[in-house]
Amino acid sequence: MSTLELSKGMPDRLPARSGFRFYAFIATLVAIFFLGMAALIASDYRRYATRAELQLGHFAELYSQAVDSSLAIANLEMEKVLGLLPDNAFEGTRWVDDDYSNWIRGEIAKIQQIDSFVLLNPQGRVIWATAQGLVGQNLSDREYFKKAKLLDTGRFAVDVPILARGSGRRLTPMAWPLRDEDGELRGVAASSLGEAYFEDLLNLEEMQDGLHVEIITANGEPAFVSDVPPEVAIFSATRRIPSIGLEATVSMSRAMAMQGFWQRTIVIVLVATGLFITALGAAIQARKRSVLLTESLWRSEFDRRRINAAKTEFDTIFDSVGDGIIVFDETGSLRRANLRARALLDVSNDAQAVQRIRGLIPALSRMTADEEVHRLSLQDGDDPEAEIPIQCRVMRLHLHGEDIAYCVLEDVGSQERLVAARAAFITSVNHELRTPLTSLSGALDILQARFAEAMPEGAAKLITMASRNADRLLVLVNDILTLQAIDQKQLNITVKPVDVRHALNEAVTTNSSYGSAREVRLVVSQPEIEAHVLADTTRLQQILSNLISNAFKYSPKGGQVVIGAECQGDKVRFFVRDDGPGIPATGRGQLFERFTKPIHSRKVQASGTGLGLAITQELVIRQGGEIDFATRSAEDGEEPSGTEFFFTLPRADAQA
Amino acid sequence: MRILFVDDEADILELIEIALMTEDDLDLTFAPSGIEAIRRIEEEKFDIIMLDVMMPPPNGMEVLRYARSMADLNGSIIVMCTARTSPEAEQEMRALGANHILHKPFKPLGLASYLRGLV
């Protein structure tokens, strides 16, 4: 079951959920925002327009009322003046003396609304006027005269404005009928409203700048126009002035009406757009974040599944391992044991397994090395009589700053039986092969030594050959058995301090007889001080014997082999030196290889198994040493020739 | 010098006898089994006992243990003859009282000088 299969429920990637919907939503929001803004501006515009219209209407109302009431007052005052006029006033002009004129002028002057005054007789002839030039003129064709003639006392008529000669100003004529007690027309009094009058009234009303006021008479002629009219006057209000039948029109320009509107609109739009963009940005940002969050959530879910799958896989493997595995720490927060470990310890759960193993091995804190091997003997769950030999390898690991014990329990029972069987086989082969060979070789040696002279020449040669080959066979059997032991890691090496002088002496004792047969002397060169090396006694002797027998083989008759040792710091250097022919340069490279081809010429080459140096090197290395050689070869023309093999072993009593 | 050779291989004993035949100073006794060796040890006193390890019971180790248990044999030099074995086994032999260990195969012709070197 693979990790990927377990995470099948999920797609490999997060489904690419399109941002289309989100951005469509955003676009809709933007559209709604702009529509809303437009609606807001439009309603604001209408509000402004309405306000302007209301303002204008209000003003027009105010103004027309002002004009109306002002004229009503003027009318009352005029009536008073007219009532004081003598009855004979209209019978001729001669009655009007200077005093009387002055009186009229004085009275007229009291009436603010009017500045000029004309008295007409019922026929329309001017009988008195503030402007002397008019006296005697007939104004019966004037519209105000005609209207006034038909009116009752207390009423007045207003005519279309006329342009005053000279000043060019507009004057709106007014006329009052003068009737006697019987209602008979006695005459008509006429006056005019100048533009200044309307303007004064306007000023009294504190007209706003930018307002335009027009007073229009019934026939459409303007009686008063304030200022210059605006080029485009779109807002206006008209009110009738009932007393004089005029219309007051107040208007203002768009710019005036909309003053402040645009500033307000721009500010609102800017602020609203700013807020909207901020909100939109925040929304987009939030969406991106949420997408990222979703992705990471999805990823972590995916990872979780993968981890779960891997964990399941691991657990399966962990439980199916043939060796028992227990992992725990000192605090007890980590306690794992696999199936095999629980079975070996005969417990049912992890906690019990850890408890059991902690009782069997030393505490983690008391471990001297990071790896220790303990021998345990556990009772067989199936057979209470039997005990299972267990090898417990404890490794101290450092994980997250804590020490963790990793124990591997291995049932070494079957392995040990196999080892024992193999060892028995090797021992028996050793014995069964070597015993007859020993007899054979010994018998041939004695035959050669004692009876060679009595034998025919050919027979002696054959005996020598048989003897040499019997020896060779013996060595070969030994070497093969040794190499097999090395290869199968069956070679037991037990190092302990070994006295160097003692070891050298033993090597001389064991090997000198072989040398004396070849008339080669074995000389020992002892170290200057007493020293001990860490070595396996038997294997050290084997190394020395191999090197000494090689040296003997190549030494000339009457030659000398020197063995010795010297201290070199924390090591001891052993050497075996001969004055043989040396090793030619061509053969030096593969000297320690197994079954090397003969490296000497046929004349020089001694017989051997081709395994001796390979074994020797293995033995040195297995004891923590190094081996090498120095040689001068006669074949290469180096004189004096000779070879020195040397190897080092760690000193047991090394001085710090 | 009285020497006892113990080995279950008759050929080996015979070979040794031939090889050392010319050495007049060596008084040789041969025992072809552990039983015979024990009987000889009880009867006589030897300077050197050459004891083969691998024999039908009682083997060399048992003979060695028996010989060392006899107080009057403490002066004898006991040499264990064995094919190469483990250091543990050799250590055990020395602990039981073996003085030397002679690795097989040994050369019968070199035996005389080896034996003389021991004393």
Half-sphere exposure of B68 (CA within 13 A, CB side): 17
Question: What count of other Cβ atoms lies within 10 Å of the Cβ of residue A543?
Answer: 28
The CATH code of the domain that includes B54 is 3.40.50.2300
Nearest to A542 by CA among A500, A510, A499, A588: A510
Half-sphere exposure of A7 (CA within 13 A, CB side): 21
**Interface contact A424, partner B, CB < 8 A:** no
Taking CB atoms and an 8 Å limit, are B104 and A434 in contact across chains? yes
Could you write out the DSSP letters of every residue in A394-439?
A: EEEEEETTEEEEEEEEEE-HHHHHHHHHHHHHHHHHHHHHHHHHHH
Angle between helices B87-96 and B60-69 (to 10 degrees): 30
A chain contacts of residue B19, beta-carbon cutoff 8 Å: 442, 445-446
Name the residue of chain A whose CA is nearest to B53's CA.
Answer: A431
Partner residue opposite A438 with nearest CB, options B18, B86, B104: B104
Residue A434 near residue A348 (C-beta atoms within 8 A): no
B chain contacts of residue A427, beta-carbon cutoff 8 Å: 83, 85
**Interface contact B86, partner A, CB < 8 A:** yes
Nearest to A579 by CA among A656, A639, A489, A502: A639
Taking CB atoms and an 8 Å limit, are B107 and A514 in contact across chains? yes
Residue A446 near residue B22 (C-beta atoms within 8 A): no
Taking CB atoms and an 8 Å limit, are A494 and B88 in contact across chains? yes
**Interface contact A191, partner B, CB < 8 A:** no
Strands (E), A217-338: 222-225, 233-241, 246-253, 324-329, 335-337
Measure in Å the smallest separation between the Cα of A501 and chain B Cα atoms: 17
Average pLDDT, chain B: 84
**What local confidence, expressed as pLDDT, does residue A9 receive?**
57
Alpha carbons A483 and A171: distance in angstroms, whole number: 149
Could you write out the DSSP letters of every residue in A123-170?
A: TSBEEEESSGGGTT-B-TT-HHHHHHHTSPTT--EE---EEPTTT--E
**CATH T-level topology, domain A496-650:** Heat Shock Protein 90 (3.30.565)
**What local confidence, expressed as pLDDT, does residue A96 receive?**
60
**What local confidence, expressed as pLDDT, does residue A475 receive?**
77
Q: Which strands sit side by side in the sheet containing B48-52, from one edge to the other?
A: B27-31, B2-6, B48-52, B77-82, B100-103
Alpha carbons A490 and A188: distance in angstroms, whole number: 160
- Domain range for B62 is 2-118
- Burial (CB < 10 A; 0-12, 13-18, 19+), residue A156, is buried
**What local confidence, expressed as pLDDT, does residue B101 receive?**
87
Taking CB atoms and an 8 Å limit, are B18 and A537 in contact across chains? no
B chain contacts of residue A538, beta-carbon cutoff 8 Å: 84, 87, 90
Q: State CA A98 to chain mean position distance.
A: 111
Q: In angstroms, how far is the first alpha carbon of chain B from the final one?
A: 9
- Count of domains observed in chain B: 1
Question: What count of other Cβ atoms lies within 10 Å of the Cβ of residue B34?
Answer: 23
**CATH topology agreement for domains A322-410 and A496-650:** no
* Cα–Cα distance list, A325 to A287, A319, A321 (Å): 50, 9, 8
* Cα–Cα distance list, A385 to A57, A163, A378, A388, A413 (Å): 123, 149, 11, 10, 15
Name the residue of chain A whose CA is nearest to B117's CA.
Answer: A509
Taking CB atoms and an 8 Å limit, are B54 and A445 in contact across chains? no
Alpha carbons A82 and A525: distance in angstroms, whole number: 174
Taking CB atoms and an 8 Å limit, are B86 and A492 in contact across chains? yes
**Interface contact B26, partner A, CB < 8 A:** no
B15, B79, B94, best to mutate vs chain A, most A CBs in 10 Å: B15
**What local confidence, expressed as pLDDT, does residue A38 receive?**
92
Alpha carbons A264 and A488: distance in angstroms, whole number: 100
Say yes or no: ipTM exceeds 0.95: no
**Counts for chain B of helices (H) and strands (E), in that order:** 5, 5
Measure in Å the smallest separation between the Cα of A512 and chain B Cα atoms: 9
A335-341: long-range contacts at Cβ-Cβ below 8 A with a sequence spacing of 24 or more?
A340/A409, A341/A407, A341/A409
**What local confidence, expressed as pLDDT, does residue A3 receive?**
45
Residue A371 identity: E
Q: Tokens 């309405």 correspond to what residue?
A: A50
Alpha carbons B76 and A564: distance in angstroms, whole number: 32
**Interface contact B113, partner A, CB < 8 A:** yes
Q: How is domain A322-410 classified at the architecture level of CATH?
A: 2-Layer Sandwich (3.30)
Task: Divide the 656 residues of chain A into consecutive groups of 10 and give the mean pLDDT of each group.
Answer: 49 62 88 91 88 84 83 81 68 62 78 78 83 80 85 80 74 83 82 79 71 78 72 74 77 78 88 92 90 90 92 88 87 85 87 87 81 82 77 86 87 80 75 80 85 83 83 78 72 84 88 79 87 88 90 89 91 92 85 78 72 88 91 83 93 70
Nearest to A594 by CA among A473, A486, A489: A486
CA angle in degrees (0–180, nearest 5) for A326-A327-A329:
135
Q: Tokens 């008479």 correspond to what residue?
A: A217
B chain contacts of residue A436, beta-carbon cutoff 8 Å: 11
The two three-digit tokens of residue A574, written as one number:
């052993």
**What local confidence, expressed as pLDDT, does residue A95 receive?**
56
Alpha carbons A403 and A333: distance in angstroms, whole number: 12
Domain ranges of chain A: 3-44+262-315, 322-410, 416-487, 496-650
Longest alpha-carbon distance in chain B: 38
Alpha carbons A94 and A290: distance in angstroms, whole number: 109
* Selected residues 447-506 of chain A with any CB under 8 Å from a CB in chain B: 449, 474, 478, 481-482, 492-494
Give the model confidence (pLDDT) of B28-74 as tens digits.
Answer: 899 988 888 888 888 888 888 999 888 888 888 888 888 888 766 66
Alpha carbons A473 and A374: distance in angstroms, whole number: 42
Mapped to the 3 state alphabet, what secondary structure does A326-358 carry? EEEECCCCCEEECHHHHHHHCCCCHHHHHHHHH
Taking CB atoms and an 8 Å limit, are A446 and B108 in contact across chains? yes
**Interface contact B19, partner A, CB < 8 A:** yes
**Interface contact B88, partner A, CB < 8 A:** yes
Phi, then psi, of A377 in degrees rounded to 5 = -125, 110
Nearest to A105 by CA among A120, A116, A97, A89: A116
**What local confidence, expressed as pLDDT, does residue B5 receive?**
92
Taking CB atoms and an 8 Å limit, are A446 and B83 in contact across chains? no
Measure in Å the smallest separation between the Cα of A527 and chain B Cα atoms: 23
